[in-house]
Amino acid sequence: MYFVLLFMVLFSAVPLAVTIFRWMKLRAIKRRGVKAEGRVIGKFTRAVKWGRAIDKLHIEYRDWAPGQSFRAEAFAPLGKFEVGDTVTVYYLPARPGKIVLAGGLGYGPMLLFFTGLFLFVLFAVYKLDEMIRTGAY
């Protein structure tokens, strides 16, 4: 029976761990990355099932050292940027195709949701364990 409880805790910890990992990668690029100005060259609205629609932006920006132009994709809230807008991006010189868009979508709401879910499952497992020990089920 305790394997089921352990499985419940581990199963709820996986999305929280993935979200924390992605959030830390995003913060690392913002902290250690190079700031550059880019231009939105394409915009496609993407409808998410059972959720809000978001914009997938195609952005072109110049590398600071050689002046070489790069293209990358980023997601942003619906209608925040239009084609031709100038945007601020952060990128790592070793991987210029991976960018973080200033004002783009973040992981804050997901982090809050999965933290709440994990705490709820921990409380539920605690109460289930208490019920099993006392035999009050």
pLDDT in tens, the chain (137 residues): 788 889 999 999 999 999 999 999 989 998 998 888 999 999 998 877 777 788 899 999 987 667 788 899 988 888 889 999 999 999 988 888 888 888 777 788 889 999 999 999 999 999 999 998 898 77
**pLDDT for the residue 85:** 92
Residues 102 and 87 sit within 8 Å (Cβ to Cβ)? yes
CATH class, 33-105 region: mainly beta
- Three-point CA angle 80, 26, 31, nearest 5°: 105
**pLDDT for the residue 132:** 87
Q: Could you tell me the residue ranges of all domains in the chain?
A: 33-105, 107-137
**Nearby residues of 130 by Cβ (< 8 Å), 6 or more positions away:** none
**pLDDT for the residue 79:** 86
